A and B are shown apart, each in its own frame.
Chain A
Amino acid sequence: MSNNIRLKGGLNIPIQGEAALKTRASIQPDVVAIRPDDFKGLVPRLLVREGDKVLAGSPVLADKNCPEILITAPVSGTVAGVVRGDKRKLLAVLIQADAVQEYVDFGAKKADGLQAEQVREQLLKSGLWAAIIQRPYGILADPSVQPKAIFVSGFSTAPLAADPDYALGNEVEDIQAGVNALAKLSAGGVHLSLCADNYSGTAFHKIENVILHTFTGKHPAGNVGVQISHIAPIRKGETVWTVSLLMLAAIGRLFNTGKVNLARKVAVTGPVAKDPAYVDAFPGMPMKALSAFYDNSKGDIRFVSGDALTGRNAGENGFLGFFDNQVTLLHEGTERELLGWAKPFRFNQFSSSRAYFSWLCPKKKYAMDTNTHGGPRAFVVSDVYSKVLPMDIFPVYLIKACLAGDIEKMENFGIYEVLPEDLALCEYVDPSKNDIQAIIASGIDQMIKEMA
């Protein structure tokens, strides 16, 4: 392939607990949560009350800033509760699912014959508009904007991520329908990026009506943000949208069947997961539904919705996120290793740095835990960050600009191009143990506030 984009640097995290390519269980929805925090930029307005009946696809939340944007129920059932936190912040809407799922019928439509306006309307009223993420800033897409282009990453390089071919390989038709629909919304078309090494092996290379790109490289080559920066970097004033393959399949299903069906294969992974494999589940599924996969009698397991680098710490009583099709179970590393840093060898610890010897066993996988392996410090080492960030930006300068809250510098150093997830590896390798993703997130929040 002539237009293959080869990314230098990056790092695949060798963590144990990859999900076997089999589906161990089908989790019947019981209590399902809708979390406003899954949608960055959403100012939620509650549309239901406790006891209300909802169908899969019934509106539950609306955005106060843009009331057309709805968040709909992933399952049919009864609203069982509304969870609020400090200052009455809406944390979750709980729905007790019915035994038999009923769907709102939005009417099957062939995207080919539709106008952009009709596609937009269908997505908005079904709640699947929220599946589109707008960059810069990674927020809910603005329906009044025509984006420069729409980007989809067709592979994932994140640690232990669900294998898209196993999880979504037999939904190519739905994905195709989703592509056809979204293509109407942008003059720049839909860009699909695939992994060059697995190009002919993946079912997704047959998808039409897209601009195909192939990438070679380690993580974060599968991050859509990194891909965009190599295809057409986002500049000030530009807007692009991104959709995950998972959400594209859901959108396609909406157009093919008229139903909002968010059922998905979820990879249950991580070093403390027992027989890691896939389950059939719904977004908002409680972590406790996975009890066959773990033994938390000591209370030392971290339940991450998403991958180990960018996921959300959901807790044992938490729920799977709207966008996630992976759960990572990690051991809380509160043990105190004696003379850890001073030992010449630490065979059970992985380091990308040659300061340790784990580079001698490139194939080994490690039972990583959540210990930080050191205390927070100022930035000292200067060249480790850009080695794991194949983008044309200066990561440390961007991070420092975010810390300083300097808008102009953040702009110059590329705040429009990144989301916290793109710098997750910088955070992973940082010997100074800074929370880089949180720093970037606060920089983005400041940009949203000041540029509005």
Chain B
Amino acid sequence: MEENKNKPGLFEKGGKMGFLHSTVDAFDTFLRVPASVTRTGAHVRDAVDLKRVMILVVIALIPAALFGMWNVGYQHYLAIGESAGFWATFWYGFLKVLPLYIVSYAVGLFIEFAGAQIKGEEVNEGYLVSGFLIPLIMPVDVPLWMLAIAVAFAVLFGKEVFGGTGMNFLNPALLARAFLFFAYPSKMSGSDVWVSLGKDTAVDGFSGATPLGHLSEGMDGITAAGYDWLNLFTGTVPGSVGETSIIAILLGAVLLLWTGIASWKIMCSSILGALFVGWLGTAFGVTDVPAWMQLLMGGFAFGTVFMATDPVTSAQTETGKWIYGFLIGALCITVRLFNPGYAEGMMLAILLMNTFAPLIDYCVVSAAIRRKNKTVKTA
């Protein structure tokens, strides 16, 4: 803003519309790199900033989002017993998912902007990711007003009350899902919510249950419902919008790991934890579903790649990341094996470990300091 030097510009602090400073600044810096130069310390700075980090996470989510849209259409036409072309299928899903995105971003960004405005700070770009994640972890038929309430709750009580992105201890996207799960359980679980039927009626014999819904019936139940490793892996099964396709999630995982944005330690240890408990489950005869099959089902892969690795709410120390990831994987499968009423354990596993992450870090850091102090005494 190259306005008159003596007078603050229209939207600058002290200007006529100065109260809108944060909002204007957000759009301005969205389009152009800020002109700010370093004041103290290092005179030159790395080109990377949080906008770049966040946009890469969004890009990593795009395969899952696109596949999710197609799959919504695919499940729809499957359920009503019609066949449609690729584009018609995709278009149906696109029209179903688009409103979720509009609501998610409109509500979430409004609160973010209002919050920044009140605090007089710059708008943080963290919600770009949360807003993209939320529709992907919802059942496609979730009523939009519910979504709006959930987003508002998650942004306000998950983030803003703690001071915004970077200060929150719970993953806001998961908090939105958890809010709906506990406030409106009938819309978030069971076998009727995962496939969008629209005005059409389902064909006879249509169940609509996700693979996880058959988990308690063991391997026979899963096979009888028509699920095998191949369609679980490609993702042509009912489920939350973005969580079904392991292929699409892996594409995102490759980008996140390659750019170093997500921690490979958390991803690895989460898988290890899940395999370990899955193996215990089969070894003790709790289930006959092999451990590796668990990795392909439900929200495990999506949660491991995109939710558990959220740098703000995960453990901050490198050792802590191993523990944190392992416990997420282990808890998720534990919930699946012992709670047939609510088979999707990933959401609660991550939220629970979010709350424990500071404790894990505390223990890791304290141990490191104790070790350091001990070497001094012996030296």
Could you tell me which A residues sit within 8 Å of B by CB distance? 13, 15, 159, 233, 235, 302, 304, 308-311, 313, 328, 330, 332-342, 346, 349-356, 358, 368-383, 386, 392, 394, 396-397, 412-413, 420, 424-425, 427-433, 435-438
Contacts and interface: CB of A to CB of B under 8 A. Distances in A.
A332 B41 contact: no
Interface string B22-48: 000000010111111111111111111
A341 B29 CA distance: 10
Contact of A349 (B32, B47, B376): B47
A431 B42 contact: no
Contacts of B33: 336-338, 340-341, 371, 373-374
Looking at chain B's contact residues, the main secondary structure is: loop
Interface residues of B, number: 50
Interface in B138-169: 163-167
B13 interface: no
Contact of A308 (B37, B44, B263, B369): B44
A204 B65 CA distance: 61
Contact of A371 (B31, B35, B124, B258): B35
24 contacts: A302-B43, A341-B49, A341-B55, A353-B53, A355-B53, A355-B259, A358-B47, A368-B44, A369-B44, A370-B43, A372-B36, A373-B46, A374-B34, A374-B52, A377-B49, A378-B165, A380-B126, A386-B318, A420-B41, A429-B46, A431-B49, A431-B52, A437-B40, A437-B42
A429 B259 CA distance: 14
A394 B317 contact: yes
A373 B34 CA distance: 7
B209 interface: no
Nearest first, the 8 closest Cβ-Cβ pairs linking A and B are A374-B49, A378-B166, A437-B41, A340-B33, A349-B47, A341-B51, A351-B47, A336-B32
Contacts of B56: 355
B44 A438 contact: no
B368 interface: yes
A375 B166 contact: no
B35 A334 contact: yes
A347 to B, nearest CB: 11
A228 B376 CA distance: 14
B37 A333 contact: yes
B317 A341 contact: no
Contacts of A377: 49-50, 122, 124, 165-166
Contact of A375 (B122, B167, B258, B368): B122
Contacts of B260: 353-354, 383
A369 B46 CA distance: 10
